[in-house]
Structure 1
């Protein structure tokens, strides 16, 4: 018996046994956290890979629509056909937006709130997409109105 300590050798042995039992448990918890963090990083990278393509694509299409509506030569009907084809190409791209939405859903479920791999958020993409659809529809509508006005007034191109 040690007069300078309140702990007996048995107390120390018991505490050591408790530590030896807790170490593997703690190890397992750390491994689970590492796996969770790696899964989160894969989700971030997947979202960023798609967003970094879709974001600039939307921006490019917006600029192209601006140029198309100004630079189109030919009859109003030809302009209309070109714009309708353009609109169809944009609509066909929707599956890429849907894939990004799926990635975003997984990110939200994993409670991931930041992504250092991209400056785009799903909200940016959604707003850009809606703006793109609205812009092409408005441009088509303007050409349709020009056709109707021309036909109603009986004027030529």
Structure 2
């Protein structure tokens, strides 16, 4: 192997030192530029992260405001629905009261008509009973009794 040949070792070491020196000087000249680029990139990344964090906080604030507005809207809608239900209930109660009043009036009128019909029927019943009693007495005795006598007999039977 030529690397291990002692006759070529000295020139190889010289070239090694020369190439190493040139590379060292190049790196020494480029290193500040690389550091500067690294710092600029780090600053840009930091600024971007800061902006992203600020945007995230703003988005969270907007979301919280949205949720608060949404809750307020839901509460308002619930209040409107409850008010509408209450108004409908009041309207229904008022209509029901009117219908109940009309029904009670109709019931009272019907009871009055029934009472009148009962009185009329009872009056007719008394007349029919008196007529029937007079007919029975006439058939049994052959003589029709006086109306006053029949009424007195019916009154005595009704009392006792």
Q: TM-score range by the shorter chain?
A: 0.3 to 0.5
Larger relative contact order (Cα-Cα within 8 Å, sequence gap ≥ 6)? 1
Larger Rg: 1 or 2? Answer: 2
User: TM-score when scaled to structure 2?
Assistant: 0.39
